[in-house]
Amino acid sequence: MSAAEGRIWEELRHIADPEIPAISLVDLGVIGAVSVADGRARVELLPTFVGCPAVEMMRQQIGERIGALGVAEQVEVNIVFSPPWTSERITAAGRESLRRSGFAPPHVGPSVPSPASGLDELAVLPIAECPYCGSHDTTLDNPFGPTLCRAIYHCASCNQPFEQMKRV
pLDDT tens-digit series, residues 78-100: 999 999 999 999 999 999 999 99
Domain ranges of the chain: 3-79, 102-165
Residue 22, Cβ density class (10 Å: 0-12 exposed, 13-18 middle, ≥19 buried): middle
Predicted local distance difference test score (pLDDT) of residue 109: 64
Determine the Cα–Cα distance for residues 139 and 142; give it in Å rounded to an integer. Answer: 9
* pLDDT tens digit sequence for 30-62: 999 999 999 999 999 999 888 888 899 999 999
Confidence category of residue 1, pLDDT binned at 50, 70, 90: confident
Determine the Cα–Cα distance for residues 45 and 8; give it in Å rounded to an integer. Answer: 13
- CATH classification of 3-79 is 3.30.300.130, yes or no? yes
Strands 74-79 and 103-104, bridge-based pairing:
unpaired
* pLDDT tens digit sequence for 117-150: 444 445 566 778 999 999 999 999 998 888 878 8
